[in-house]
Structure 1
Amino acid sequence: MFCKTFVPTTSSSSRTWTRFSRHGLGGLLLGIAILFMAMAGSAMAQPESPQKQIDGWNVALEKVDAAIEREGTSDAEFKALKQQVTDIVAAANALADSLAPKVAAATAQVEQLKPTGATDAPESEAAKENRQEAEKQLSDLAGFQKQALAIASHGSYALAQIGEHRRMRFTAELLERNTSLIDPGLWGDAASDLPGITGRTGSVVGEWASLVASRSDRSAIAIFVGLLALIVAVLVPGRRFLLSKLRRPHADAQPTVRTKVMSAAAIVAVNVFLPLIVLVGGQSILNALELLPYRIDQLWTGATAAIVFFSLAFGISRALLAPTRSTWRLVALDDAVAMRAFRLSIAIAAVQAMVVFHQNFAKVTQASLSFTIALDGVASIVIAVLVIAMVRGLTRRAEPSEEEGDDPADEDFGLRRLALMAAGLASGAAILANLMGYVALGRFITTQTVWTAVVLSLLYLLMKLTDELTAASFRRDGVVGSRLITSVGFAPRSVTQAGVLANGAAHLALIGLAFLAIVAQWGVDSSGLFATIRQLFFGFKIGSITISMSTLIAGIVVFMIGLIITRSIQGWLDTRFLPTTRLDSGLRNSIRTSVGYVGMIFAATLAFGYAGLDLSNIAIVAGALSVGIGLGLQAIVNNFVSGLILLAERPIRAGDWITVGAEEGTVKRINVRATEIETFDRATVIVPNSSLITGVVKNMVLRDRSGRVVVPVSVSKLSDAEQVKAILIECAKAHSLVLRYPEPIVLFLNFGEKSLDFELRCYLADIASGATVRSDLRFAIFGRLREAGVALPG
């Protein structure tokens, strides 16, 4: 049939063969191509050999070493070198970590293949070849691992060298002395360069205009003009419109702290994010349309930074000082002082924004060094003078005669006064530095002073905002608090504690970010700090021990999850399962407590394992500490073991009526160390578990709750004894709580000097009601004796 199908007997079969040949050949070629690509892909997917990687890293680090020692390496090049070395160190450490289990497995294999010394049998050739192959593999793997660790050490040294060179460069630039501002020659040179700067600025603007005008696409020009108009409209009237919606009204009633903080945060957000989004978005659109040449892009970037900084300082000043609305003010200042501080802060922010823009403007216009020094020096001195004026206004206090009593904010004002004095001294030092020719140092001091003030003010506002948000969220009816109570089962007090912890964590995070923002001006590379934090979090080695905060935190989380599951099982047993059984309350409490102990031990074991702690090492440490435990903690261990014995043997149970020494009451709870007993006076007695095991304990309800009550009765010597006995028996049988069996009995105890002494003994089903029954019997007996005319001794 196969041959018949392909015999070209007719034109139809010939066409069929032609189609099959064409399609079959194409399919064959396609299959060969796919197979070849798969083989090539698998070859390309094969990991690079470790030795090739190590050699490449060595070559790269040698080039980095040469670049570090080379004169003229810029700071940007140092940053690129640092990133390159950081990647190499991370990759080398990853390679060493990946080879560690392979080295361990190869070591174990070599140990297994070694000939034993106990036997005299010669080693076979096959075993010898296997052992030699295993040793060679171990040698290769161990060599790769050692080389990778050496690469990591080399890279760490290179990183230290890069950091040292950058610090030295920063210090040298900062302490470089230039022409003093009081030198007339400086101003002459700066003035002579002014026409050139003006011309170059016009050239830059003209280049931009020519680029826009040369575009044949009119739609792009329309977008350009419309975008500029939109930016102006949003930054001026649009911003004012949004701020008018957030305007804080004059009110006779004092607004709440939460209202003031939320309003202040909204004002800062509008002032910062609105210009940031508009300017950055406009820059991106113009770059996409290719309407932003390089020099205009640099000026746009500088203008964006300056405007955003000014908006941030303006928003913070207005939010905190509220110059025209004292009831909304977040800092305790008089109206006149607040208005003066607001105006000075706006002036300082405007001059500092000009300094920020001038850094890019000087590069684009190729301003001379004299012009840059003159402008930076003047701006630095103006800022310093304004800061000193603000410090004087804020540190001025009322006269002692005008003050009434002690001010509770004196301590806070003292801290603020120290900070303001430090700012004033720094500003004075900046003025001196500028006059002596250290313009870079003076500008750095004033810039750092202003930036630190802005960051600390923003930190103050954000911490206030965090306080209000956590307080609102972790209330019983808050978003987080209600879910923790209903879903997880947190107690209201636990929800409050969780809110305090969350608030503290948020404060620490904000303080850390503020610290990074401040030290960034000092030449500290934030990437290095983040790398250190990342290393602390994900693990660092001390000898052969790896300490990782992430695994420790993961272990704590696992333990908390296990503890929550244990508490859930205990709650289910206590409220759902155990009440359906016939077990007494004491056995229920023992089961619940035992489940808690087992769950905690299981959760701790899982947590230790997840955190990477070797339980055998923990056992060794525990054995070494057993002597100390036996000497210093023997009482605690004794009480713990006694508690386990109480739960196992159950000589006392929760709810039992016991007597321990002079204390008598009901057992409420058997804990790990001690047992809680509630006396009949509603007082709680804490008894160590060891005292219940080694001491004498009277349990009134150990086997059952039945018991005997005794009521002594004395009557006159002239009374009829049989009549008295009958009355006592009748009163006992008439009480509903007295058992019919054993029957009540009356004992004639004694012939007193003036009385006949009897004793009524009867039994109850629950001895806990003994005091009530004795009182009822005394009332009944007294009434029946009076009715029968039986006299009492008297």
Structure 2
Amino acid sequence: MKILIAMFQKALFFFSICFLSLNVASSVTANDELRKKFDEALSVWELALYEKTQDLERGNLSQSDFEDIRDDLDHVRIEAREFISQLQPIQSQLTKQLKGLGPIPEQNQTPETEQIVMIRQTLETELSVVSSQIKQAELISPRVDELVGRFNKIERQRFVNEVFSRGPVPISRSLWGEAFELSGTDWEVFFLQLELALNTAGQKIEWEEIIPLWVIVLAAAFVSSLLLRVMRRRYGVQESIVRPDYHKRVLAASLNALRRALIPVTLLTLVTGTLVWGKILDPEIEQMVEAIILGLLFITIAEAITKATLFPVRSSWRVLAMAIPAAQQVRIIAIIIAFIFSIDLLIRVVNEIVPASASQHLLGSFFTATAMAVLVILLHRKSLWKLAGEVPEEISRVSRLWSRFRKVIVAFMSIMIAAAFIGFIPMAHFAVFNLVATLELFLLLLLIHVIVHEVAHYELSGKADIGRSLRNILSLDDDGADRLGFWIVLCVGCALVVLGVIGILLIWGMSGQRLLGIIQAGLTGFEIGEVRISFIDIAVAGMLFIGMLALTKVFAKLLDERLLPKTKLDAGVRDAIKASVGYAGLGLAVLIGVSAAGLDLSNIAIVAGALSVGIGFGLQSIVNNFVSGLILIFERPIKQGDWVVVGNEEGHVKKIKVRATEIETFDRASVIIPNSDLISGTMKNWTHKSKLGRLELRIGVSYDVDEEKVRDILTKIATEHSGVLPRPEPYVLFMDFGASSLDFELRCFLKDIENKMSIASDLRFSIRKAFQEAGIEIPFPQQDVYIKQIPSGVKSIDEFEKEDEVRAEDPETEKSTEEKNIDKKPE
């Protein structure tokens, strides 16, 4: 038998060695392929970093060159991280295999076989190679970050030099002479190219490709018009509402503006699709056409919004109750601002297409910047914004904010005009247009917030079908619908704040590519020391946690309403099952959320172990109450609905929570009792196992009454009451010979002890009536006072009675007696 066991062990060892050898061989082959790919990628990365370093030393880079360099460097960083993510599992696998072989035997121990030695050497070699590759890939990111930082520094320095440099003043004669010199320059070639493109545009149109696009655009416009019609019926101007609130007016004005701008936007889209998407224009002319169409879109939107907000069909639906002349001036200024924006956009695009001279660029920036600054100053005149009638709270808040910054904006625009006239034209152009764009972004986000607020509260109010369905699904009352609307508006507000921050950064000079990189780094994760923080992981963990809690709530509700009522379980058992499901779901949600967030549970366990002593002392009472709550749930000395007496408090158990138990007294007051007090203290539970209970009623009768008759009457009354159990039978005890009465006690058992007070009252009514009919007297305590001797000078009762009789017969005697008494009073 021992020989067979030895042979089996050798065979098992042989097969394990063979399997380990095959596994090592396959992993080595796979690692060789990955090593080759890594070496090739490393060569490409080194070449890319070398080329970007040379570009950095070259210095003559445009804005597009900076963006291309950032793209290439980000691509290198991403590839390096991908290789690291592929190599780290191989590293951990090799480490586990080496640990599986055990430590190297010492000299006094049995040496390893040749196969084990070869496998160990192979694994160590592979592990060293993989570790080296991971370190090389990890060194790429710091080098990329260094290069990106150097490029960003150069870009910032160039931006500062371009914006804050002083050039010639606008009244310089040489500046004007150079600006209008067009013959023999690139402008002449551009105009010829533009004329040729306009003349041949109709011949290049391929209607077979354009007509389907037109059909799609027209269909989308038709569907949009139908949706706007439905929205206007629900949220638009309503004749029945004489004085609409602010949110309704803003939403109605927004819908009217969209309806007014629908046809022009559709036409501009058709033109854009025909000229741009049809590829019938040269790239340079195409950029100019896109700028023109975008400028016309700005003007269309400005005209539609000002018309809908300042001049609606009904005057009571005006968003701002301004005077008609002031409203007309505001509308004209807003349209001109949109026109200046369009002209400036067109000038910038044309200057990029045609290598314009510095004079032409400066003069174009000067005219657009000064015109925009003057328009903003005119728009911020206080005389334009005198509102009549009742001002809404939202407008009042914005008005107070605007009144604080109005003078600052006007002063800032005046300073920029002066700066442009003394030669700081780029700075004035940059500051003026970015400030106006920031204000427009703020108004747009405020408009979206108001629209979301009105739509959310209208839909959740129950007036719309969607809102009613949502309230029925979520089982929401009016307060719950208001809370849901509040959270929806709050979440949308937070999202608008984030969008506003992103928009402001883009407006004031941050490149979209760089901002996108920052956002990606923040979402995908960044490291602080050895801790990696990823907002995406945190958001996913939060959503999983909330989703698991919601699923637990739905499942617990399903158990409580559908499954458990069909069983014959006690109500307390059902409550315990429901509570257990809730706690289990909460624990599972916490574990899922922590795992999804990428937190290392081992580190948390170490920290928890280190803080366990302090937490034990600081949270001792909380932990005690928590454990006591679990005992109450599973041991069930009390359950929801029980009638309990704890100390001086008495009432029904309303809810058993983790930390404390809520008891509702008969006065409808809530008493919160820590769970530890219920476990460690004394508690009376009237309905612990059943609702059966005994009622004790004490009665006293006169000494002259027949005791047997009293017993029969009391027994009969208790037996005839519907709330008293026939078995055990009611009985009467002769308790004592009282000072004034014979004391009896009626004892009976009730079907429901919770009706104790009402049954006791019914029995007392019946006893009182039966005693009156039987002539049985219920005595009350009496005391007789005997006076042995009357002190001298004090009249006896007989004397007082005689005086009363005399007064009754002779009123004059009573009057003279009163006068004598008055005379005897001391002065």
- TM-score by length of structure 2 reads 0.80
Residue 75 of structure 1: how far off its partner (Å): 1.1
Is the contact between residue 115 and residue 123 of structure 1 (CA under 8 Å) also seen in structure 2? no
Mapping of residues 211-250 of structure 1, within 5 Å:
211=200
1:716 matched to which residue of 2? 702
Alpha-carbon deviations, 1:470-489, whole Å to 9, x = none? 22344456566545544455
5 Å matches for 1:639-658? 639-658=625-644
- C-alpha separation in 2, matches of 1:169 and 1:263: 47
* 1:528–1:322 Cα change, 3 Å: farther
Corresponding residue for residue 330 of structure 1:
319
- Closer/same/farther in 2, CA of residues 100 and 679 from structure 1, 3 Å limit: same
How far residue 425 of structure 1 moved from its aligned partner, in angstroms, is 2.2
Give the partner amino acid of 1:342. Answer: R
Go from structure 1 to structure 2 and tell me whether the alpha carbon gap of 1:575 and 1:383 turns closer, same or farther (over 3 Å shift). Answer: closer
Cα contact 2:321–2:389 (8 A) shared by 1: no
In 2: Cα distance, 1:292 partner to 1:703 partner: 90
Shift of 1:421: 2.5
Match of 1:69 in 2: 57
Partners of 1:250 and 1:709 lie apart in 2 by 67
Q: Give 1:443's aligned residue.
A: 429
Q: Which residue, 126, 142, 145 being the options, matches 1:137? A: 126
* Rounded Cα–Cα distance in structure 1 between residues aligned with 2:110 and 2:145: 51
Could you tell me which residue of structure 1 aligns to residue 329 of structure 2?
340
Letter in 1 for 2:136: Q
| 1:716-754 alpha-carbon deviations (Å, 9 max, x no partner) | 222222222222222222223333333333222333343
> Of residues 152, 160, 165 in structure 2, which corresponds to 1:163?
152
Q: Any conservation in 1 of the 2:725–2:749 contact (CA below 8 Å)? A: yes
CA distance in 2, matches of 1:262, 1:753: 85
Q: Secondary structure at the match of 1:701?
A: coil
Quick check: 1:204–1:295 contact (8 Å CA) kept in 2? Answer: no
How far apart are residue 100 of structure 1 and its match? Answer: 1.3
Counterpart code for 2:733: L
Aligned to 1:260: 249
Native 8 Å contact 2:649 2:665 kept in 1: yes
Partner of 1:110: 98
SS of structure 2 residue aligned to 1:678: strand
For 2:494, the equivalent position in structure 1 comes to 508
- Corresponding residue number in structure 2 for 1:375: 364
User: Paired residue for 1:706?
Assistant: 692
CA deviation string 1:348-369 (max 9, x = no partner) = 2222322221223345565543
Inter-CA distance 773–105: structure 2 relative to 1 (3 Å threshold): same
Q: Distance in 2 between matches of 1:306 and 1:733?
A: 96
Tell me if structure 1 keeps the 8 A contact 2:295–2:338: no
Residue 316 of structure 1 contacts residue 458 of structure 1 at CA under 8 Å; is this kept in 2? no
**Partner SS for 2:168:** coil
Q: What SS is found at the alignment partner of 1:702?
A: coil
Q: Deviation of residue 78 (structure 1)?
A: 0.8
Q: Which residue of 1 aligns with 2:195?
A: 206
Say which of 413, 416, 419 aligns to 1:430: 416
Note the alpha carbon deviations across 1:268-291, whole angstroms, 9 max, x for none.
546767656644653453457664
Deviations 1:40-66 (A, max 9, x none): xx9xx9996111101111110111121
SS of equivalent residue, structure 2 residue 671: strand
Q: Say which SS state the counterpart of residue 177 (structure 1) adopts.
A: coil
Contact 2:544–2:589 (CA under 8 A) maintained in structure 1: yes
Could you tell me how far 1:567 is from its partner in structure 2?
2.5
How far apart, CA to CA, are the structure 1 residues paired with 2:414 and 2:424?
A: 13
Structure 1 727/208 Cα, relative in aligned 2: closer, same or farther at 3 Å? closer
CA contact (8 A) 1:86 1:159 kept: no
Q: CA–CA distance in 1 between the matches of 2:262 and 2:152?
A: 34
SS at structure 1 position matched to 2:380: helix
**Structure 2 residue 675 is the aligned partner of structure 1 residue 685:** no
How far apart are 1:780 and its partner, in Å?
Answer: 1.6
DSSP-derived class of the 2:644 partner:
strand
Partner of 2:71: 83
548-557 or 127-136, larger mean C-alpha shift: 548-557
Establish whether residue 55 from structure 1 lines up as the match of residue 34 from structure 2: no
Q: Where do 1:716-735 residues align within 5 Å?
A: 716-735=702-721
**Aligned equivalent of 1:777:** 763
Query: What is the rounded CA distance, in whole Å, between the counterparts of 1:305 and 1:104 in structure 2?
Result: 56
Match of 1:318 among 307, 315, 327: 307
Given the alignment of the two structures, is residue 555 of structure 1 paired with residue 544 of structure 2, yes or no? no
C-alpha deviations, 1:140-160, integer Å up to 9, x for none?
Answer: 111111111111221122222
In structure 1, C-alpha distance between the alignment counterparts of 2:272 and 2:697, rounded to whole Å = 101
Amino acid at match of 2:112: E
Number of the residue aligned with 1:392: 381
- Of stretches 604-613 and 318-327 in structure 1, the one that deviates more from structure 2 is 318-327
Shift of 1:580: 3.1
- Map of 1:21 onto structure 2: none
Which AA in structure 1 matches 2:362? I
Question: After superposition, what is the alpha-carbon deviation per residue over 1:93-124, rounded to whole angstroms, capped at 9, x for unaligned?
Answer: 12112211111111222333353457611233
1:359-508 aligned within 5 A: 359-364=348-353, 367-393=356-382, 411-476=397-462, 481-487=467-473, 493-508=479-494
| Cα contact 1:714–1:756 (8 A) shared by 2 | yes
TM superposition shift of 1:180? 0.3
What is the CA distance between 1:793 and its match in structure 2?
A: 1.5
What amino acid maps onto 1:432 in structure 2?
A
- Distance in 2 (alpha carbons) for counterparts of 1:665 and 1:338: 67
SS of equivalent to 2:744: strand
From the superposition, tell whether residues 683 and 360 of structure 1 become closer, same or farther in structure 2 (CA, over 3 Å).
Answer: closer
Counterparts of 1:171 and 1:647 in 2: how far apart (Å)?
69
| 1:793 counterpart SS class | coil
Rate the CA distance shift 1:115–1:285 in 2: closer, same or farther, 3 A.
same
Q: Is the 8 A contact 1:250 1:325 kept in 2?
A: no
Please give the root-mean-square deviation of Cα atoms over the aligned residues, in Å.
3.7
Residue 288 of structure 2 is aligned to residue 302 of structure 1: no
Question: In the alignment, is residue 697 of structure 1 matched against residue 686 of structure 2?
Answer: no
Q: CA deviation at 1:85?
A: 0.8
Residue 655 (structure 2) aligns with? 669
Partner residue, 1:179: 168
Give the whole-Å Cα distance in 1 for the aligned partners of 2:465 and 2:131: 55
- Cα distance change on mapping 1:485 and 1:220 into 2, 3 Å: closer
Alignment: residue pair count: 733
Residues of 2 paired with 1:203 and 1:711: CA distance? 116
- Report deviation, 1:689: 0.9
Contact (CA 8 Å) 2:77, 2:141: kept in 1 or not?
yes
**Structure 1 residue 547, shift from structure 2 partner:** 2.2
* Partner of residue 22, structure 1: none
Letter in 2 for 1:520: L
Q: Which moved more, 1:191-200 or 1:436-445?
A: 191-200
Aligned CA distance change for structure 1 residues 586 and 535 (closer, same or farther; 3 Å) = same
Residue 353 of structure 1 aligns to a residue whose secondary structure is: helix
Partner of 1:95: 83
Cα distance in 2 for partners of 1:204, 1:103 equals 62
* Range with bigger deviation, 614-623 or 689-698: 614-623
Query: Deviations for 1:757-780, whole angstroms, at most 9, x for unmatched residues?
Result: 222222223222222222222122
Seen in structure 2, the aligned counterparts of structure 1 residues 408 and 115 have a Cα distance that, compared at 3 Å, is: closer
